Amino acid sequence: MRCIVIKNYLNNAKMDRQIAKVAQAMMERNRGDIRRIEHSLKVYGWALQLGINESIDEKTLEILEITALLHDIGIHVAEKKYGHSTSQYQELEGPQVAREILTTLGYAPDVVDRVCYIISKHHTFTAIDNIDFQLLVEADFLVNSTEDPLKENQIINFARNIFKTESGLICLKLLFPHLDFVIVPDKLR
Ligand SMILES: [Fe+2]
């Protein structure tokens, strides 16, 4: 029993060090861009909280954590290449940068592929196909809702149409308790 506990601890410690390396790589690609570095770290924080609260399995949580740190990694490449970073260009350029980072860090191909898939569609909400993708979108919105000057009806519409998890909706309600959206996640209907 003790051996299993120690082994799990070491596995988690290893994963934490790897995540720290992903965060470092994200910062290097965004050197000097404090706003975007902080945005990615904030999305990571929300994603981790939502993933744990939703009790997702360890591998899915790892994919979510990595994706949160790298979801906007295509912005600088897009700006350099096209002069601006529309969501379409971000989705186009982000996966290649993420793949370079994660392959260099030795991540398994299936993890790299999943992270790159989510990054390639992270503004395309109709493509959401699993809890990792769903929680990334919710975590990103939780940050955007406080960073961007969103109108109240934009937040309400997003809550009603895009949010699906109980954890995400509760967090959004805690940020904006005065807004009129009811917490009725799909799984409770
Ligand atoms: Fe973002």
Domains of the chain by residue range: 2-73+126-188
Residues ≥6 apart with Cβ < 8 Å to 10: none
The DSSP secondary-structure symbol of 32 reads T
Alpha-carbon distance 159 to 162, whole Å?
Answer: 6
For residue 94, how far is its CA from the centre of ligand 1 (angstroms)? 12
The Å distance, Cα 92 to ligand 1 centre, comes to 15
Distance 43 CA to ligand 1 centre (A): 7
**Residue whose tokens read 């939703």:** 54
pTM of the model: 0.90
Q: Say if residues 115 and 102 touch (Cβ distance below 8 Å).
A: yes
- The secondary structure of residue 55, as a DSSP letter, is T
pLDDT of residue 146: 93
Residues in the chain where the model's pLDDT stays below 50? 187-189
Give me ligand 1 centre to Cα 71, in Å: 6
Q: What radius of gyration, in Å, describes the C-alpha atoms of the chain?
A: 17
Sign of the CA dihedral running 111, 112, 114, 115: positive
**Tens digits of per-residue pLDDT, 22-41?**
999 999 999 999 999 999 99
Q: Which residues surround ligand 1, an ion (CB under 5 A)?
A: 72, 140
Backbone angles phi, psi at 42, to 5 degrees: -70, -40
Measured distance CA(149)–CA(154) in Å, rounded: 10
Percent of the chain with pLDDT strictly greater than 70: 88
